[in-house]
Amino acid sequence: MTPVKESHFHIGVRPGDPRLERLARRIIGWDATPGQGAGAVDAFDPARVRRARKARSER
């Protein structure tokens, strides 16, 4: 994906894999328990974008 999006992710298991069901239950549970999930981040916040560009140029 170009540009790379911090908010994008893949779940690398096949449909029907028991790990997928466990993960789904865990993520759904985050709605019921505030503060348990990853939280909300604006991946396109100008300060974050500047830091990301700087880090990329330093590689």
Q: What is the pLDDT of residues 19-37, one digit of tens each?
A: 999 999 988 888 788 777 7
How far from chain centre, in Å, is Cα 17?
21
In a domain, 1, yes or no: no
Where residue 42 falls among pLDDT bands split at 50, 70, 90?
confident
Rounded-to-integer distance, Cα 37 and Cα 5, Å = 19
pLDDT for res 54: 94
In a domain, 6, yes or no: no
Domain count, the chain: 1
In a domain, 53, yes or no: yes
In a domain, 3, yes or no: no
In a domain, 37, yes or no: yes
In a domain, 31, yes or no: yes
The pair phi, psi for residue 12, each rounded to 5°, is -90, 55
Tell me the whole-structure pTM to 2 decimals. Answer: 0.46
In a domain, 42, yes or no: yes
In a domain, 39, yes or no: yes
- Average pLDDT of span 33-58: 85
> Domain range spanning residue 23?
18-58
